[in-house]
Structure 1
């Protein structure tokens, strides 16, 4: 039996919206459970990391991507394939270091905040979408790329854009050297 055109897209959109609503409820519950924003941020990062280490298998199977040869290719893959596949958005990527190991993912639209207008004043240091940092870090670690992933700018905090910073912790030469051994 064939599906009508667009049905898969509709179910992906519903799944995404359900995830966003559920995510909002999760963050609200964590805010009730923890007094300090730092504790909520840490919890979201840990949850994201656990998701990332499991999600990478699904990503590799569904996307059929080839091994990335550089940090730049990896950052592009995260933005153009992974974000598009799981969140339906494609962040722009910019390299922010001469060494070529620091990148920014800039999101014009962040679906995780579709139903959030602003953070309460008493939660000013809350990193609402910190789950994304953990997901990226966990997935990268599973493909043997240690990285530090943090929010650099956040529209929920009044910034012009939402920006996630990725710093690969080994220099590109270190990867080449290890492969040649």
Structure 2
């Protein structure tokens, strides 16, 4: 890890002071430039799309695995009489426009056809700058404490507003 923290892979593993690299990684501008350069390098070298998630969800097997899992969950739901609440967590990226909205819609549609209740956090997260929700500037997957708090509060409101919670 120390070796990785002292190099910039995009520039052919050029050595750098780890403190400077941490500072560069915290910059939204540097992150934007890095992602654009990676995209251009991918296009120039014929590797195409460098976005892992876009590539992943462009594969039919990904949707097939999702629907198979949903079918098994639907069967368990019927057998054991429980509700399924699916929470869709968005990537921490610019939400105007949100590039993964079609994926969210497809997941939501597949879940709802099986009787699942679906809550998409994209509107919750879009109410703030995605940068305020990130643990680090380069991590667009894992929300920080504020992101988790926003998600939990929104989910609880969603459950109560729809009457899904019933006191015994």
TM normalised by structure 1 equals: 0.30
TM-score with structure 2 setting the length: 0.32
Q: RCO higher in 1 or 2 (8 Å CA, sep ≥ 6)?
A: 1
Q: Which of the two has higher C-alpha Rg?
A: 2
